């Protein structure tokens, strides 16, 4: 079965655009223009030149020798941690800001949870001289002060969302409200493969530069484009979608998606959406999400802020549904151990999100001749405080 999006934005049973009528014009404008713009030579030239000279792409595909020896396979790390601002998120914000400019927009809004997407958005707004407003839950602003200040240094306005639990979903609601009131001059940059169509596919295509590069780099190093396994962590699923994209329909490549099990799958404190979730609508698309019997969204938990999301992008819900993806869930504690292990084995301190993907290497069955590409989505600088609190090193 071919993995692809249909005209209405569905991957199998999941996706679509479930939005209030007031948002229809904004979404239609984007849907009717994004492909034409993305496929134009002018767009491609600007996108690739910024990816190269500003983001620092191509990111290396690094053969992790000591880790390979330890786990008995050939393990390559795709070094998204070396991107400007420390993670893959900037691939998407660069793409969307160029798109916004071509659509004649003057102002950018975004939502952010831990602040990583907010920082990546504030960065590209500074780069392009665009006005930037980032909505962030008041509780998250308190928890993530350094990122709030980073956004402010970059010239963005950070607006607290004071409704509900004052976290990511409330910030998203606030951003959507603002978009409805300012449709003509404003573009809303969503940070993962979530939201109403066309966002999930659009974001995946901006991130697909990851697997495009892996193919070339693996060809140089191994004489073939396809590894046996690709492993990536999944919050909303954008780094995983980018790493899987050009392999969706290469049947010989196993796609391994790693979610956060938090304190344990049955602890009530996790973000293991595919295991615990049921179909529902979240932020404009039909997907799997963690919810109560009567459909209330359950607050997720993960030690890594980037995986702390109650849903999953519709493409991942589909990969799970049809069995194309293999899904694992890793506990806080095992991710922390894996993060410290990579630091000692390879001299790379990973983001705690990425450490979930690393920990899954212990769980996945593979052969010693297998080539594994693990997408190292980000670096651990932002997580220093969590590492320090955790201790044990
Ligand atoms: C935000 C983030 C993630 C999770 O987001 P996805 O959309 O699932 O990729 C993973 N890793 C890092 C380093 C992040 O900053």
* Each residue's pLDDT tens digit, 94-111: 999 999 999 999 999 999
351 CB within 6 A, ligand 1: yes
Is there a contact between 312 and 237 (Cβ–Cβ < 8 Å)? Answer: yes
| Cα–ligand 1 centroid distance for 194 (angstroms) | 12
| Cα–ligand 1 centroid distance for 120 (angstroms) | 12
288 CB within 6 A, ligand 1: no
| Cα–ligand 1 centroid distance for 335 (angstroms) | 14
- pLDDT, residue 19, reads 94
Please say whether the dihedral angle defined by the alpha carbons of residues 292, 293, 295 and 296, taken in this order, is positive or negative. Answer: negative
Distance CA 236, CA 303 (A): 15
Burial class (CB in 10 A: 0-12, 13-18, 19+), 312: buried
**Token code pair at residue 362:** 């212990």
Is there a contact between 321 and 14 (Cβ–Cβ < 8 Å)? Answer: yes
| Cα–ligand 1 centroid distance for 380 (angstroms) | 12
Distance CA 332, CA 338 (A): 10
- Reported as a single tens digit per residue, the pLDDT across 25-79 is 999 999 999 999 999 999 999 999 999 999 999 999 999 999 999 999 999 999 9
Query: Which among 375, 378, 384 is the best mutation to test ligand 1's pocket, defined by most ligand atoms within 8 Å of the CB?
Result: 378
Distance CA 79, CA 41 (A): 27
Angle (CA) 11-328-87 rounded to 5° is 75
- Distance of CA 304 to CAs 227, 321, 385, Å? 28, 25, 12
**Token code pair at residue 163:** 């409704």
- pLDDT, residue 170, reads 87
User: What is the rounded end-to-end Cα distance, in angstroms, of the chain?
Assistant: 46
CB-CB neighbours of 265 under 10 Å:
15
Ligand 1 atom closest to Cα of residue 307: 4
- Reported as a single tens digit per residue, the pLDDT across 98-145 is 999 999 999 999 999 989 999 999 999 999 999 999 999 998 899 889
DSSP labels, 175-187 = HHHHHHH-TTTEE
Is there a contact between 117 and 191 (Cβ–Cβ < 8 Å)? Answer: yes
**Candidates 80, 111, 326, 353; catalytic one:** 111
- Reported as a single tens digit per residue, the pLDDT across 288-346 is 999 998 888 888 899 998 898 889 999 999 999 999 999 999 999 999 999 999 999 99
Does 377 participate in catalysis according to the annotation?
yes
Distance CA 120, CA 213 (A): 21
- pLDDT, residue 310, reads 87
Count how many Cα atoms sit within 13 Å of the Cα of residue 174 in the half-sphere of its side chain: 25
């Amino acid at each position: 079965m071919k993995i692809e999006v249909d005209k209405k934005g569905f991957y199998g049973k999941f996706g679509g655009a479930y939005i209030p009528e007031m948002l229809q014009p904004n979404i239609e404008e984007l849907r009717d223009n994004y492909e034409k713009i993305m496929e134009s030579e002018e767009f491609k030239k600007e996108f690739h030149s910024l990816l190269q000279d500003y983001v620092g792409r191509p990111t290396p595909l690094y053969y992790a020798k000591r880790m390979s020896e330890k786990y008995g396979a050939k393990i390559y790390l795709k070094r998204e941690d070396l991107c400007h601002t420390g993670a893959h998120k900037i691939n998407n914000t660069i793409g969307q800001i160029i798109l916004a400019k071509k659509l004649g927009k003057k102002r950018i809004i975004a939502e952010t949870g831990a602040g990583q997407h907010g920082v990546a958005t504030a960065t590209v707004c500074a780069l392009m001289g665009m006005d930037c407003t980032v909505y962030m839950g008041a509780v998250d602003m308190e928890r993530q002060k350094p990122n709030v200040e980073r956004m402010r240094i970059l010239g963005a306005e950070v607006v607290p969302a004071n409704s509900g639990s004052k976290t990511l979903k409330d910030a998203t609601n606030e951003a959507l409200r603002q978009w409805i009131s300012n449709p003509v001059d404003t573009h809303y940059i969503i940070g993962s493969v979530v939201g109403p169509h066309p966002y999930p596919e659009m974001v995946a295509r901006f991130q697909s530069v990851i697997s495009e590069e892996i193919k070339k780099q693996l060809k140089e190093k191994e004489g073939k484009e396809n590894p046996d396994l690709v492993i990536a962590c999944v919050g909303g699923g954008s780094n995983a979608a980018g790493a899987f994209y050009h392999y969706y329909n290469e049947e010989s490549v196993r796609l391994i998606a790693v979610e956060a099990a938090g304190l344990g799958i049955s602890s009530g404190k996790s973000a293991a959406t595919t295991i615990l979730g049921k179909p529902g609508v979240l932020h404009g698309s039909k997907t799997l999400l963690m919810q109560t019997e009567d459909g209330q969204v359950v607050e997720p938990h993960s030690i890594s802020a980037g995986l702390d999301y109650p849903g999953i992008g519709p493409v991942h819900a589909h990969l799970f549904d049809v069995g194309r993806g293999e899904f694992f869930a890793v506990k806080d504690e095992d991710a922390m151990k894996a993060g410290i292990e990579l630091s000692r084995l390879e001299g790379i301190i990973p983001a705690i999100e990425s450490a979930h993907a690393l920990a899954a290497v212990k769980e996945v069955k593979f052969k010693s001749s297998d080539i594994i590409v693990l997408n190292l989505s980000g670096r651990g600088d932002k997580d220093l405080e969590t590492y320090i609190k955790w201790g044990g090193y």
